Amino acid sequence: MADGREILYFDADPGVPRTATGTREPLQTTTHSQRRFDPLLGEWVVIASHRQTRTFLPPADLCPLCPSTPERATEIPESEYQVVVFENRFPSLSTSHEDPIGPGAVPDTEGAGSVGATVAGSPLTPLRDGFGRCEVVCFTSDHDSSFAQLDPQRARLVVDAWAQRSAELADIDGIGQVFCFENHGAEIGVTLSHPHGQIYAYPFVTPRVTRMSENVRRYRKSHGGNLFGDLLADERAAGLRIVAANEEWTAFVPPFARWPYEVLLYPHRRVADLPDLEAAQRDAFATLYLDVLQRFAHYFDSPMPYIAAWNQAPTPGSGVAREDWWLHLQLFSTRRAADKLKYLAGSESGMSVFISDTTPETVAAELREMR
């Protein structure tokens, strides 16, 4: 792109020429992201103050994710595209930092717990630059479409893009986990309505994956089995919470669902991450996922807002075990009724204890009936 960011095109026809050069005016930022370690929870927090000025709900004729026209340059310089991935214009994490530490830092002192810098006035709070990578994945050039409206071939192309990017990003020295996800719907907080998702390459293993990995390890030690696999086997045998299934995947509402509408999609054959998926698994996922998304879209009078989050194994260089990890997708909505949202109030936000407004078995039965 004109400002040096990378853009990649994924096309069903490998012969499509992609030669246009981006002409959109480069963006100048004066701040850079940091990560600060919370010693009480043992988790990293990313500080990215420059994102306050990011694009927010522009009208369709000013959408930066639509193809470029002679009259207006967008993020994608081509006149059309199928699936495209590019570095985020407003990244939370970046592989390039002019200032490696940023403002508010002091040299690390004795007892700070790690080599590097700490936050000024807080020697117990390690401070690092916001190393990593953030990418945008556009699913279609059609501004008025959605993932649920894609055909299986295009959905499969998106899976291939996720897999290719996951493999390449995981190879970057210092990346601990790659996270592919989609935020859909204004109620979720989407700032661009064009059909798209994102990919974050974190310089650490996220709290969710760390905790699951620890539980999987303990389960292996005490039961001799795979926690993911045994959970999937139990759900397939019971059938109570299954929403849909095919020969390669099962979609079910977890018996411990914390969101009003939540579905997990598991492959029947264990793989650690998206690059490990075989062709048959990718094809079958595209079909089943579109099925489940259509059920979400038709459950209420208006399409259900959702977050789709891929849970991949940590990268080989992360130091966290991968051998028992079972790739899966978590799909959930913050809507709890046609005209009501699930707000994360005191118990959820303050103590991380979710209180569900729905029953997993009822939700699964109702989603099964949707077409």
Give the CATH number of the domain where residue 32 resides. Answer: 3.30.428.10
Within-domain flag for 184: yes
Q: Does residue 154 sit in the same domain as residue 17? A: yes
Q: What is the pLDDT of residues 21-59, one digit of tens each?
A: 666 676 655 557 899 999 999 999 999 887 777 776 788
Residue with tokens 């699951």: 212
Tokens of 269: 């054959």
At 160, the amino acid letter reads D
Within-domain flag for 112: yes
pLDDT at 130 over 80: yes
Report the pLDDT averaged over residues 324-346. 95
Q: Does residue 79 sit in the same domain as residue 186? A: yes
CB count in 10 Å sphere of residue 351: 8
Within-domain flag for 318: yes
Structural domain total, the chain = 2
Q: Does residue 170 sit in the same domain as residue 228? A: no
Q: What is the pLDDT of residues 199-210, one digit of tens each?
A: 999 999 999 999
Please tell me the predicted confidence (pLDDT) of residue 52: 73
Please tell me the predicted confidence (pLDDT) of residue 36: 95
Please tell me the predicted confidence (pLDDT) of residue 197: 98
Give me the catalytic one of 196, 223, 268, 298. 196
Percent of the residues in the chain that have a pLDDT greater than 70, as a whole number: 92
Report the pLDDT averaged over residues 304-311. 97
Please tell me the predicted confidence (pLDDT) of residue 191: 87
Instruction: Find the domain containing 111 and state its range.
Output: 7-202
Report the pLDDT averaged over residues 74-89. 94
Report the pLDDT averaged over residues 318-341. 94
Q: Does residue 225 sit in the same domain as residue 317? A: yes
Please tell me the predicted confidence (pLDDT) of residue 115: 53
Q: Which of 175, 202, 229 is at the close of a domain? A: 202
Report the pLDDT averaged over residues 124-146. 96
Contacts 24+ apart (CB under 8 A), 279-283: 280/248, 281/248, 281/249, 282/156, 282/159, 282/160, 282/163, 283/152, 283/156, 283/248
Whether 268 is catalytic is no
Q: What is the pLDDT of residues 345-369, one digit of tens each?
A: 999 999 999 999 999 999 999 999 9
Within-domain flag for 2: no
Q: Does residue 128 sit in the same domain as residue 51? A: yes
Please tell me the predicted confidence (pLDDT) of residue 259: 97
Is the distance from CB of 267 to CB of 277 less than 8 angstroms?
A: yes
Within-domain flag for 214: yes
Percent of the residues in the chain that have a pLDDT greater than 90, as a whole number: 80
Nearest to 191 by CA among 271, 116, 89: 89
As a whole number of angstroms, the distance between CA 224 and CA 117 comes to: 42
CA 134 from centroid of its chain's CA atoms: 10
Q: Does residue 37 sit in the same domain as residue 174? A: yes
pLDDT at 114 over 50: no
Within-domain flag for 75: yes
pLDDT at 212 over 90: yes
Please tell me the predicted confidence (pLDDT) of residue 22: 67
Q: What is the pLDDT of residues 250-277, one digit of tens each?
A: 999 999 999 999 999 999 999 999 999 9
- Produce one character per residue of 182-213: b if its CB has 16 or more CB atoms within 10 Å, e if not: bbbbeebebebbbbbbbbbbbbbbbeebbebb
Please tell me the predicted confidence (pLDDT) of residue 111: 35
Within-domain flag for 161: yes
Q: Does residue 15 sit in the same domain as residue 156? A: yes
Within-domain flag for 1: no
Counting Cα atoms < 13 Å in the Cβ hemisphere of 30 gives 2
Q: Does residue 98 sit in the same domain as residue 114? A: yes
Q: Which of 150, 182, 202 is at the close of a domain? A: 202
Nearest to 8 by CA among 119, 129, 146, 169: 169
For 55, residues 6+ apart whose C-beta sits below 8 A from its C-beta are 64, 89, 90, 191, 192
- Produce one character per residue of 225-241: b if its CB has 16 or more CB atoms within 10 Å, e if not: ebbbbebbeebeeeeeb
Provide the mean pLDDT of the chain: 91
Choose between 4 and 249: higher pLDDT.
249
Q: Which of 202, 217, 236 is at the close of a domain? A: 202
Q: Does residue 184 sit in the same domain as residue 245? A: no
Q: Does residue 221 sit in the same domain as residue 191? A: no
Q: SS3 letters for the chain?
A: CCCCCCEEEECCCCCCCCCCCCCCCCCCCCCCCEEEEECCCCEEEEECHHHHHCCCCCCHHHCCCCECECCECCCECCCCCCEEEEECCCCCCECCCCCCCCCCEEECCCCCCCCCEEECCEEEEEEEECECEEEEEECCCCCCCCHHHCCHHHHHHHHHHHHHHHHHHHCCCCCCEEEEEEEECHHHCCCCCCCEEEEEEECCCCHHHHHHHHHHHHHHHHHCCCHHHHHHHHHHHHCCCEEEECCCEEEECCCCCCCCEEEEEEECCCCCCHHHCCHHHHHHHHHHHHHHHHHHHHHCCCCCCEEEEEECCCCHHHCCCCCCCCCEEEEEECEEECCEECCCCHHHHHHCCCCCCCCHHHHHHHHHHCC
Q: Does residue 252 sit in the same domain as residue 346? A: yes
Q: Does residue 60 sit in the same domain as residue 189? A: yes
Please tell me the predicted confidence (pLDDT) of residue 4: 86
